[in-house]
Amino acid sequence: MALFSPPDGRGDRGAVSRNQVRIGPPIENGFYYDIDLGDKTIGDGDFAAIEAKMKELASRKVSFERKEVSKADAIKYFTEKGDEYKLELLEGLNDGEITFYTQGNFTDLCRGPHIPDTSFIKATKVMSVAGAYWRGDEKRKQLTRLYAITFPKQKELDEYLVLLEEAKKRDHRKLGKELDLFTFSERVGAGLPLWLPKGAALRERPDQLHEDGPGKSRLRAGATPHIGSKALYETSGHWEKYGKDSFQPISTPQEGEPSCSSP
């Protein structure tokens, strides 16, 4: 959805120019937009106005129109717009892979698919704002990344926000600090916990229950290898989500069957 420019093409005070919207893919929960604001900034205080504009645009029931475009025509279109970001994205695309979506007077490069029209959106929420380098390269320009989510019913959004608050209360990083279970050190490494006495005692408790004997506990110990085949993690979904970051291939005598250490 073109959140930052109205479908009829009229300008709005405080709205982000359509030429500044860079990429906006869906993510696991909602979506984000990377925006080049120049010298301007967006903060928490702007969220309410953005949400109101999102609802206003959604209420107009504007359709999304998909069109396949040749690479030459796409380059011509974004050259005339002066959009160097989209021109760079087009460098990695070929004829047959390029589609435009139009919403009112707003047209943009997008893979899709989209909902039929904006009327399906009944509830909106801007979740957070952060900085993001263009294409993840710290040597490139830093853009503003706006995270948001929409729902077909206000009740679903309300329930989602309650769920987030409950999850925050149970966040292991929060509980670990509050209960003196573990701490972290940049010198040790990101995401590697240092177990404090209380945490170490809690960590050892399952083993202690097992050692009490079969008559005193129903727990039974098991063990898994420290490495597994790549196919195992592809099946579990871990490879697709974490593969490049968390799993390092290990050479094995069996050619063509790479294994990986468990994370």
Residue-range domain boundaries for the chain: 18-152, 171-246
C-alpha 26/C-alpha 7 separation (Å) is 21
Taking the mean position of all CA atoms in its chain, how far away is CA 142? 17
Q: pLDDT grade, residue 251 (50/70/90)?
A: low
Residue appearing with tokens 């979904």: 237
Interval 116-157: pLDDT, tens: 999 999 999 999 999 999 988 999 999 999 999 999 999 999
C-alpha 139/C-alpha 215 separation (Å) is 62
pLDDT score for 262: 65
pLDDT score for 227: 75
| Whole-Å CA distances, 207 to 45, 62, 139, 202, 246 | 50, 60, 49, 10, 27
Give the global pTM.
Answer: 0.68
Residue 100 · residue 110 · CB < 8 Å: yes
Taking the mean position of all CA atoms in its chain, how far away is CA 48? 21
Q: Does residue 205 sit in helix, strand or coil? A: helix
C-alpha 9/C-alpha 11 separation (Å) is 6
C-alpha 103/C-alpha 62 separation (Å) is 6
- Least confident window among 16-30, 60-74, 249-263: 249-263
CB half-sphere exposure, 92, CA atoms < 13 A: 6
Fold assignment, 18-152: Threonyl-tRNA Synthetase; Chain A, domain 2 (3.30.980)
C-alpha 88/C-alpha 181 separation (Å) is 48
DSSP letter at 190 equals T
Q: Retrieve residue 12's tokens.
A: 């709005």
Cross-strand pairs, 103: 106
Residue 32 · residue 25 · CB < 8 Å: yes
Average pLDDT, stretch 211-224?
64
For 201-250, list the strands marked E by DSSP: 227-229, 249-250
The mean pLDDT of the chain is 83
